[in-house]
Amino acid sequence: MNHLLSVVLLLILVPQNQKLPDAFQQLPEEVRNKATVIFTGTYGEGRSPCIFRGDGTRIWALEPYFNVKRVYRGEVGGKTILINSRVSPKIDGVSVKLLVGRDYLVLMRPNEQSMKVIKAGEYVPVWDAPHGDEIVAIVKLK
């Protein structure tokens, strides 16, 4: 009985119909359904911690990221999600060039390891950040 009460309370307290931005409805249905994590965020770029090379030189990797504003689907434990991509995937043959400081709707289908990192809000180096098929769509918001 206590378990049933907990489920009922959870259904009442968790918002069931979060209004997604209009950009979401403009995506093909197969793209919308594929995403397990959906959020809006502001795109930014930073540099990684120093990487020492064998010849004694130092380099820094470019780290693209989103500062998460609102989560619509999935569990996001941190305020920032790093990605390994400078250009969004192509939707209907069109991709969006990401601009620092702009807001985007991001649809992802992270693999198991990436999902653990996203849920925990952990930092990962750019080369281990979600990339490729894990990023379903990135859509510029008006």
How many distinct structural domains can be found in the chain?
1
pLDDT of residue 45: 93
Contact (Cβ atoms closer than 8 angstroms) between residue 55 and residue 88: no
The helix (H) or strand (E) run that includes residue 7 is helix 2-13
**Dihedral Cα 67, 72, 76, 79, nearest 10 deg:** 20
Q: Rounded to two decimals, what is the model's pTM?
A: 0.80
pLDDT of residue 53: 93
Q: For the chain, which residues score pLDDT lower than 70?
A: 1-18, 86-88, 92-94
> Is 14 a domain residue?
no
> Is 3 a domain residue?
no
> Is 110 a domain residue?
yes
> Is 72 a domain residue?
yes
CA angle 99, 105, 109 (to 5 degrees): 110
Q: Beta 103-108 vs 135-140: how paired, if at all?
A: antiparallel
> Is 69 a domain residue?
yes
- 62 residue type, one letter: L
pLDDT of residue 9: 42
For the stretch 93-116, pLDDT in tens is: 667 789 999 999 999 999 999 999
> Is 2 a domain residue?
no
pLDDT of residue 86: 65
pLDDT of residue 128: 87
The encoded tokens of residue 60 equal 């820094």
pLDDT of residue 84: 87
> Is 15 a domain residue?
no
pLDDT of residue 96: 79
CATH of the domain at 48: 2.40.50
> Is 45 a domain residue?
yes
Q: Domain residues for 64?
A: 22-140
